[in-house]
Amino acid sequence: MVQKGPASTLGGHFVVQDTQQSILLPPGRTELILGRSDPADEYFPDVDLTLYGGEDAGVSRRHARLSIEEGKPYIEDLNSTNFTFMNQQTLLPGKHYSLHSGDVIQLGRLSLIFVSEYE
């Protein structure tokens, strides 16, 4: 069900472009780290892209951050090694970019479609 109005937490999911797999966002959060796990260092991001080819695609352990600000979702590159792109535009590290349903987010070479539950 699509909700209208400002969001107080992140809601929705990503769809992996190559496989059409859905990646649900953990509910009730105002901030999420996208990346891949590193069991040797006991690091596990909020949204672990390892199972979706993250390591081979060049996804960093702490690649990008999703957040809610004034009821709207944003994405920020966390100075990743292989960059973050939104709709084929390179995101500058540390800058917040407004995120909309249907935006294509590329972390390294892993392409995801953002689907908001609020639009």
Residue 54: give its domain's CATH number: 2.60.200.20
pLDDT in tens, the chain (119 residues): 455 556 799 999 999 999 999 999 999 999 999 999 999 999 999 999 999 999 999 999 999 999 999 999 999 999 999 999 999 999 999 999 999 999 999 999 999 999 998 76
Identity of the amino acid at 110:
L
CA distance 24 to 6: 20
* pTM, 2 dp: 0.91
Q: Which domain holds residue 59?
A: 12-116
Residue 4 within a domain:
no
User: Number of structural domains, the chain?
Assistant: 1
| Tokens found for residue 20 | 């059409």
**Closest to 31 in 3D by CA, of 62, 65, 79:** 65
For 51: left if phi > 0, alpha if psi spans -120 to 50, otherwise beta; the answer is: alpha
List, in sequence order, the alpha helices (H) in the chain: none
